[in-house]
Amino acid sequence: MVDSKPQAQAKPKTKRPQKTGRVKPAVETPGSPPAIELSDSQWYLNRELTWLAFNRRVLHEAADPRTPLLERIKFLAIVGSNLDEFFMKRIGGLKQQLAANVQELTPDGRTPRQQLTECHAQVRQLVQEKTALFRQLMKMLDDKGIQIITWRALSAKDKKSLREIYLQDVFPLLTPQSMDPAHPFPFVSNLSLNLLVTVRYPREKDVSMARIKVPLGGGVPRFIKLGRTDRYVPLEEVMAANLDMLFPGMKMVSCEFFRVTRNANTEKDEEKADDLVAMIESELQERRFAPIVRLEVAVGMDPVHRGRLAAELDLDEASDVFEVSGMLAIRDLFELARLNYPKLHDPAHHPVDPPQLPTGRNIFHVIRNAGSVLVHHPYESFVSSVERFLNEAADDPKVCAIKMTLYRTSKEGRLIKSLVRAAENGKQVAVVVELKARFDEAANLQIAERMEEAGIHVTYGVVGLKTHCKVILVVRRDYNGIRRYIHLGTGNYHSDTARLYSDLGLFTNNEQIGQDVTELFNYLTTGFSPNRNYRKLLPAPKLLKKSLLEKIEREINLHREKGGGHIQFKMNALDDADIVRKLYVACQAGVKVDLYIRDSCRFRPGVPGVSETGRVVSIVGRFLEHSRIYYFRNGGTEEYYIGSADAMKRNLESRVEILAPVELPELQARLRMLLDGHDRDQRHAWDMQPDGSYVQRQPKGDGDHAGLHQRMIDHVEHEAREARRLKRRVAKVLHR
């Protein structure tokens, strides 16, 4: 079993205080205890290390026997995928800082080199635990009749069958590349799995080396199925056992596996670009050839071969090479996690149609009558709420215009089809596409081109800022004049992730919010920001951070006057040092601070004299917690805001974001239930300790085994049943 309590972060070597913002430290008065310097680095946890701690919590889900077996396989694959992204983005960024000789300390007082060293150490430990767990889970799969077997364990008949499949479906895709004086070291693509083959002529002693890429993707699976059985052989083993086809007449000396990860931080300065689309295309090309930041090798690789690979790839063998005992590219376990064994998965979940958006009625009439409607994915259907909203807008003859932001979406999704149809129906359609959404740049370029061909007005946001807010504006000519209908979301307009991520969406025709959203789109399509007044929304980078700091200060002052101060933030990550320090000031004043942070968090809760009234809770379970909620008790006049902005420096200062108020009491009650659900969870909740480590809560009774996600499923299904009963009663009365 993997240890469920992550290690606390190692203390940084640099002990001097680190100034992290503009908030002044407390003033020491004669006869009083020394004032606590809130800018001191000791009060701030490291972003990268807390993110790795989050992955340890994900790994725990894979280790937890309460999790169904194939879901455990899924979580193991998620850990592998997350680590790949961590090296591409975070380790890649740290290496760039080292190359640029950056000496600036983080809020926690670490240099880039210190962070890199500590991250590597944590990753090596995590990889060891992941490998040990992989072996356990493979044995458990075997007990269920699902086998991952080696070539050596196959019968002669099975080997012959696989050789025929290999010859037909894989062999034509292979391109062996020699490595000798006549052939330079070949290009190795990012995240590719490779064979390093050593061969020689039968009567010669000199050996030659070649690299062969495992051709995964494009219909080629990682695991080759044996007939109709649930026995699978990894593709690389099939390739290694049939090298005689690629090297006929040669003697096979060795065959070893390796994998590389390249830096994904190749962003250029768009302010100097004449053509943003051309710049993004250039970035994507450069990313293919970006420096390699990690080499993974299978255990047992010849030390000489390992050293040669490291040298050819320009890596430090001691720090950048990771030896893996077991399976490389463990993210490919997603293939197995999708096997159709209902008893080895979580119970099937089918999102319900939101009762507050009844079918059979015009959705704009429903929103107009309600004022505002709140939906919660994946418990409530994305298809019958967001997709329906755009679908009806495309065909409604009274709709004049549609405006929308797109950060990540599906290339073949119904949202794009609705936008195209709206343009074909003569409506004005404008879409702000974020071309620099990491790892979705190519897809967004294709989507933008497709929409432009359909006559949609496509723009790419504001120079120097990523457009991360999620908003749709529909302008409709109602019976009493022009009205604006808005959707504001916490997650991407992506139908696939809407079934996996926990997100919120607000539909409203609030006039002031409509005016604010109009101002927002005018800003996004022109880049002109002076004299834009926002009445309800809190936009970044102009107002959001300033407003949050002011609202925390207001909570402090109201608590000093009346007591009962309470702040609750729910988000993915918290790393902005100014926000963290202001929350410490609130704790020192006695304000209760509850932080529901999924992964990275600089805030240390429960520290005497600093954050005794603060808590940090992380939920890791069936769905990815992705919604953002900001709550202030405000002396009893409660405020709730939702949006896609985490309290991170990049979101608050380098992105276009918005927080939207949720003001109707019945909608606030739904948000209150969600926040309270984090406190009730005894299944998936982890409490951060003052040193930055986490401890998972344990059920105290039979009723505690259902975590937040199952409780939410049960709640929305109950609401849907009650809505159907009410509808039937009304129908009977009308029929009489």
Q: Could you read off the pLDDT of 472-496 as tens digits, one per residue?
A: 999 999 988 999 999 999 999 999 9
Residue 726 within any structural domain of the chain: no
pLDDT at 31 over 60: no
Cα gap 712→684, rounded to integer Å: 13
Per-residue confidence (pLDDT) for residue 35, from 0 to 100: 80
CA-to-CA dists, residue 146 to 59, 80, 223, 501, angstroms: 21, 21, 12, 29
What is the per-residue pLDDT for 26?
Answer: 43
Tell me: the pLDDT tens digits for 101-124?
888 999 999 999 999 999 999 999
Statement to judge: residues 555 and 526 lie in one domain: no
Same domain? For 554 and 573 the reply is yes
Whose tokens are 């410490």? That residue is: 584
Please tell me the distance from the alpha carbon of residue 239 to that of residue 249, in angstroms, as a whole number.
Answer: 17
Domain that holds residue 329: 150-343
- Residue 195 is predicted with a pLDDT of 97
- 311-367 pLDDT, tens digit per residue, is 999 999 999 999 999 899 999 999 999 999 999 999 999 999 999 999 989 999 999
Residues 515, 429, single domain; the answer is yes
CATH of residue 70's domain is: 1.20.58.310
Torsion angle of the four alpha carbons 94, 97, 103, 105, in this order, in degrees rounded to the nearest 10:
-40
Identify the domain boundary among 139, 173, 207.
Answer: 139
Question: Residues 494, 372: one domain?
Answer: yes
The 10 Å Cβ neighbour count of residue 369 is 10
**Inside any domain, residue 19:** no
Q: Are strands 251-262 and 685-688 parallel, antiparallel or unpaired?
A: unpaired
How distant is the alpha carbon of residue 306 from its chain centre?
33
Packing angle, helices 665-680 and 708-735, rounded to 10: 140
| Residue of 468, 487, 494, 709 marked active site | 468
- Domain check: are 547 and 443 in the same one? no
Rounded CA-CA distance 387/401 in Å is 16
Q: What is the pLDDT of residues 182-220, one digit of tens each?
A: 678 899 999 999 999 999 999 888 899 999 999 998 889
- Tokens representing 293 are 């930041």
Q: What is the pLDDT of residue 302?
A: 95
Please report how many Cα atoms fall inside a 13 Å half-sphere around the Cα of residue 193, on the Cβ side.
22
What are the residues facing 488 on neighbouring strands? 471, 506
Mark out the alpha helices in 480-622 (DSSP H runs): 511-526, 544-562, 577-588
565 in Cβ contact with 587 (< 8 Å): no
Q: How large is the angle between the packed helices 414-424 and 441-453, nearest 10 degrees?
A: 20
* CB half-sphere exposure, 258, CA atoms < 13 A: 28
- Tokens linked to 191: 């995240």
**Domain total in the chain:** 4
pLDDT at position 58 over 60:
yes
Q: Are 53 and 183 within one domain?
A: no
Q: What is the CATH number of the domain that holds 235?
A: 3.30.1840.10
Kindly state the tokens that stand for 584.
Answer: 């410490």
Domain's final residue, options 310, 343, 376: 343
| pLDDT reading at 20 higher than 50 | no
**Residue 261, beta-bridge partner list:** 294
Q: Is the pLDDT of residue 643 over 90?
A: yes
Q: What are the helix and strand counts (H, E) for the chain?
A: 20, 27
Ranking 6-10, 342-346, 466-470 by mean pLDDT, the lowest is: 6-10
pLDDT recorded at residue 3? 43
pLDDT of residue 231 exceeding 90, the answer is yes
- The whole-number pLDDT of residue 720 equals 87
Instruction: Please tell me whether the peptide bond between 186 and the residue prior to it is cis, using omega within 30 degrees of 0.
Output: no
Q: What integer is the mean pLDDT of 722-726?
A: 85
Q: Does residue 220 sit within a domain?
A: yes
Report if residue 288 sits inside a domain.
yes
Q: Are 287 and 264 in contact (CB under 8 A)?
A: yes
DSSP state of 29: -
443 SS3 class:
helix
Query: Which of the residue ranges 222-226, 327-331, 451-455, 720-724 would you say has the lowest mean pLDDT?
Result: 720-724
What's the pTM? 0.91
- 128 plus 161 within the same structural domain: no
Domain boundary residue, one of 474, 502, 536: 536
C-alpha to C-alpha distance for 604 and 609, rounded to whole angstroms: 12
Is the distance from CB of 282 to CB of 266 less than 8 angstroms? no
| Cα–Cα distance, 138 to 456 (Å, whole number) | 50
Instruction: Evaluate whether residue 358 is within a structural domain.
Output: no
The more confidently predicted of residues 418 and 724 is: 418
**Long-range CB pairs of 253-256, under 8 A, 24+ apart, other chains included:** 253/198, 253/199, 253/200, 253/207, 254/196, 254/197, 254/198, 254/302, 254/305, 255/195, 255/196, 255/197, 255/198, 256/195, 256/196, 256/297, 256/298, 256/300, 256/301, 256/302, 256/305
Q: Which residues are 399's β-sheet partners?
A: 476
Helix/strand/coil (H/E/C) assignment for every residue in 31-68: CCCCCCCCCCHHHECCHHHHHHHHHHHHHHHHHCCCCC
Query: Does residue 95 sit within a domain?
Result: yes
From CA 185, how far away is CA 174, in angstroms rounded? 17
Average confidence score pLDDT of the chain: 90
DSSP state, 88?
I
Structure confidence at residue 601 (pLDDT): 98
Alpha-helical segments (H) within 289-384: 303-312, 317-320, 334-337, 363-370
Q: Are residues 512 and 549 in the same domain?
A: no
Predicted local confidence at residue 272, as pLDDT: 47
Same domain flag for 72 and 202 = no
- Rg value, the chain, Cα: 28
**DSSP-derived pairing of the beta strands 592-597 and 321-324:** unpaired
pLDDT value, residue 289: 62
Residues 282, 166 share a domain: yes
Indicate whether 651 and 558 sit together in one domain. Answer: yes
Among 12-16, 358-362, 394-398, 440-444, the least confident range: 12-16
Same domain, 307 and 374: no
468 included as an active-site residue = yes
Q: What percent of the chain has pLDDT over 70?
A: 90
Phi-psi region of 227 (alpha: psi -120 to 50; beta: other; left: phi over 0): left
Q: Are strands 223-225 and 592-597 parallel, antiparallel or unpaired?
A: unpaired
Q: Tell me whether residue 26 is in a domain.
A: no
Q: Is the pLDDT of residue 652 over 50?
A: yes
Look up the CATH number of the domain holding residue 610.
3.30.870.10
- For residues 6-28, average pLDDT: 41
In a domain, 1, yes or no: no
